[in-house]
Amino acid sequence: MTTRLADIAGHAGVSEATVSRVLNGRPGVSAATRQAVLAALDVLGYERPARLRQQRAGLIGLIIPELTNPIFPAFAEVIESALARHGYMAVLCSQTPGGVAEDDYLEMLLERGVAGIIFVNGLHANANSDRARYARLTEQGLPIVLVNGHRPDIDAPFISNDDVASLEAAVAHLGSLGHRRIGLAIGQDVYVPTRRKTEGFLRGLKTLLGEAPEELVVNTMYTVEGGQAAAQKLLDRGCTAICCGNDIMALGAIRAARQRGLRVPEDVSVVGFDDSPLTAYLDPPLTTIRQSVREMALAAVSTVLEEIGGGRPPRTELLYRPELVVRRSTAPVAVPAVP
């Protein structure tokens, strides 16, 4: 066994003690070092211990809600690239209406012996969803990391955008332009990000106006059509500016304004959320809240690899501060013409 450890240690460029820790699943080894030891095992023709065989392929599951919203492919691209640099391959599982459910994906990923799973806005983001599915994974010792939609009842690391601060910044920006009748077109209230964005919006209004009228919040679907329907209601209620739950909804809000013969931003200002690719090239280029996609994705990869390597990342929420990106879809409030 001594010779074997020496061979593996020499090939991996680490100490024999480190090789022993990896083979016995002990903590204190980085993900990169652990992967180097496992690669040395394979190259030298040694059989992996039974507990490590299922991870030979270096597979990590990546579950995202959909591919139609550009923000989710953006997350997937960074995560896949980062995992590949560490010798892992992402198994991408996207959910579409009427398609494969998250629980079915989980069964498939477990059958393939994935080393861990990263969830981006998965079912965990639904405040009413059953936490048991995630408890089962952690009880099995499978490393998981959840992005956005923090749930304190789930014992796992969370990486999140600060949604509350995001909408506070959007409202403050519109207030600085003289807008006082500001609406929010947002998705269904069952989602944690929806609730947090709504909280930030109402808090921003309270700071700006001293009150936060709830009729200025319209819940709908996170789609172009949802944004359009919500914007119609908000325009009926006299809003001169509209904050949206994502950039897709902002497209719908702009469409609703134009259907009424209103100009964006001369008559109505619109703020998106995410800073999806191509938002800078819209007509007009969209003012939006930029999630720190690259930083959040890299943190998710680093966290899951740390746990795969035997560490135990904190079971807390790591919050990333957003950035307000001002473009041409927002402008000072229009002054009514004097008769």
pLDDT in single tens digits along all 339 residues of the chain: 445 788 888 888 899 889 888 888 777 777 678 778 877 877 777 777 766 654 445 899 999 988 888 999 999 999 999 999 888 999 999 977 667 889 999 999 998 889 999 999 999 999 999 999 999 999 988 999 999 999 999 999 999 999 999 999 999 999 999 999 999 999 999 999 999 999 999 999 999 999 999 999 999 999 999 999 999 999 999 999 999 999 999 999 999 999 999 999 999 999 999 999 889 999 999 999 999 999 999 999 999 999 998 888 889 999 999 999 999 999 999 876 445
Which helix (H) or strand (E) is 147 found in, with range?
strand 144-147
pTM of the model as a whole: 0.81
Domains, the chain, in order of start with CATH, read 2-53 (1.10.260.40), 59-161+292-322 (3.40.50.2300), 163-291 (3.40.50.2300)
CB burial of residue 261 (10 Å; 0-12, 13-18, 19+): exposed
Q: Which residues of 175-210 are buried (b: 16+ CB within 10 A; e: fewer)?
A: beeebebbbbbbbeeebbbbbbbbebbbbbbeebee
